[in-house]
């Protein structure tokens, strides 16, 4: 993949990630689908689309260099982290706006992936640390209580907690995905393993709440879930894992912080969400931190 191709792939992937937030928020907050139902349908459609693509492509020889036990354990771990992400993501959007939820998600993802990079012994230059600090300060600006107000941020605590759980799941899922030798196949397997877990979770939740509203999916919700699962999730994730091995983990964490800014813009334009001064300042800090860290070589700081 050439330099321009890599940049294009990253841009398309970030648009897909932002699209996930918009589609989920539209479906759940709009009453087209329940949060858990949307998550289950999303992973099912992703598994079907990815499985079809794998079946239709030319056959490939199995890759070597890792044992079957190691591969199986990593895939199961990835499927569990994917499940945590999917459930947390959908539940959070019951109360959070698309842009706000995406900012919280990818802020938590950045912290998770930076911690993983350090754990794995990756050298993180000083400029990247500073860029991360600037980006995270944008998240602090976003969620810090406003002075002189009794309501604080007005954010739902359970929604924030659910999105932080989703951030942990996505961050660790991304770290494990860096070792994928066949991104499309690996993503298809992860979705196939996560699908029965998600469906079982949805059925269990419905069974434990017999007096609840029951299965909540309209035809519009079904279309949104299928598109989110098959296109912005399934294909988007496969493309992301084709990109991941070509960039450092710390850079991957910062690149993903552009997705919430796109989600904020999409929420304002498509969903009519508010864009406050605080949101603008937070977005500027987040993007500024990304740019500061990513363009270190062009600026000429080879020692940091």
Contacts of residue 32, defined as CB under 8 A and 6 or more positions apart, other chains included, come to 26, 217, 218, 220, 221, 224
Structural domain includes residue 61: no
Residues shown for the chain = 304
- Phi, psi angle pair for 156, to nearest 5°: -75, 125
Q: What is the 3-state secondary structure (H, E, C) of 81-142?
A: HHHHHHHHHHHHCCCCCHHHHHHHHHHHHHHHHHHHHHHCCCCCCHHHHHHHHHHHHHHHHH
**pLDDT of 296 higher than 60:** no
Structural domain includes residue 304: no
Contacts of residue 237, defined as CB under 8 A and 6 or more positions apart, other chains included, come to 46, 187
Res 304: pLDDT: 28
Res 152: pLDDT: 45
**pLDDT of 213 higher than 70:** no
Cα–Cα–Cα angle for 256, 92, 167, nearest 5°? 35
For the CA atoms of 118, 120, 123, 128, the dihedral, rounded to the nearest 10 degrees, stands at -50
Res 67: pLDDT: 55
Structural domain includes residue 138: yes
Q: What is the mean pLDDT of the chain?
A: 79
Contacts of residue 229, defined as CB under 8 A and 6 or more positions apart, other chains included, come to 41, 42, 43, 44, 45, 46, 47, 49
Contact 14, 262 (CB under 8 A): yes
d(CA 90, CA 216) in angstroms, rounded, equals 13
**pLDDT of 178 higher than 50:** yes
Highest mean pLDDT among 178-187, 227-236, 247-256: 227-236
* CA separation, residue 40 to residues 123, 203, 246 (Å): 38, 10, 31
Structural domain includes residue 20: yes
Res 281: pLDDT: 84
Res 121: pLDDT: 80
Number of CB atoms found within 10 A of residue 169's CB:
25
Res 253: pLDDT: 63
pLDDT tens, position by position, 84-132: 999 999 989 888 888 888 878 877 887 887 788 788 787 777 877 888 7
d(CA 213, CA 278) in angstroms, rounded, equals 37
**pLDDT of 300 higher than 50:** no
User: What is the H or E stretch that residue 19 is in?
Assistant: helix 3-29
Structural domain includes residue 257: yes
In this prediction, residues 162-176 reach a mean pLDDT of: 88
Res 170: pLDDT: 85
Structural domain includes residue 142: yes
pLDDT tens, position by position, 6-29: 888 888 998 998 899 899 989 988
pLDDT tens, position by position, 50-75: 898 888 877 666 555 555 655 676 77
d(CA 165, CA 173) in angstroms, rounded, equals 12
Tell me how many domains the chain contains: 1
Contact 152, 146 (CB under 8 A): yes
Range of the domain at 136: 3-56+67-299
Res 66: pLDDT: 54
**pLDDT of 153 higher than 60:** no
Closest CA to 263 of 286, 244, 246: 286
Number of CB atoms found within 10 A of residue 161's CB:
14
Q: What is the DSSP letter of 299?
A: H
pTM of the model: 0.78
Q: What proportions of the chain, in percent to the nearest 5, are helix, strand and coil?
A: 75, 0, 25
For the CA atoms of 221, 226, 228, 234, the dihedral, rounded to the nearest 10 degrees, stands at 160
């Amino acid at each position: 993949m050439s330099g321009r191709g890599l940049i294009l792939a990253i841009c398309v992937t970030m648009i897909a990630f932002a699209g996930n937030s918009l589609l989920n928020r539209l479906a759940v907050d709009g009453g087209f689908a329940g949060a858990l139902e949307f998550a289950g349908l999303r992973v099912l459609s992703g598994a079907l689309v990815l499985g079809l693509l794998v079946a239709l492509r030319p056959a490939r020889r199995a890759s070597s260099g890792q044992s079957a036990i190691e591969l199986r354990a990593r895939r199961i771990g990835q499927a569990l982290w994917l499940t945590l992400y999917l459930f947390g993501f959908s539940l959070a959007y019951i109360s959070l706006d698309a842009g706000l939820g995406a900012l919280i998600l990818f802020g938590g993802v950045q912290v998770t992936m930076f911690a993983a990079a350090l754990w794995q012994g990756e050298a993180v230059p000083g400029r990247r640390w500073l860029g991360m600090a600037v980006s995270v300060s944008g998240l602090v600006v976003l969620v810090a209580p406003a002075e002189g107000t009794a309501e604080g941020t007005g954010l739902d605590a359970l929604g924030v907690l659910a999105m932080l759980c989703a951030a942990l799941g996505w961050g660790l899922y991304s770290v494990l995905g860096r070792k994928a030798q066949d991104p499309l196949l690996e993503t298809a397997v992860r979705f196939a393993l996560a699908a029965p877990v998600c469906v079982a979770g949805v059925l269990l939740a419905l069974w434990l709440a017999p007096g609840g509203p029951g299965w909540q999916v309209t035809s519009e919700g079904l279309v949104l879930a299928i598109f989110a699962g098959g296109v912005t999730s399934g294909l988007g994730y496969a493309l992301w894992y084709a990109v991941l091995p070509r960039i450092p983990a710390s850079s991957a964490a910062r690149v993903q912080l552009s997705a919430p800014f796109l989600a904020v813009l999409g929420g304002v334009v498509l969903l009519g969400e508010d864009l406050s001064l605080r949101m603008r300042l937070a977005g500027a800090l987040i993007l500024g931190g990304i740019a500061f860290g990513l363009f270190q070589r062009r600026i000429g700081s080879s020692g940091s």
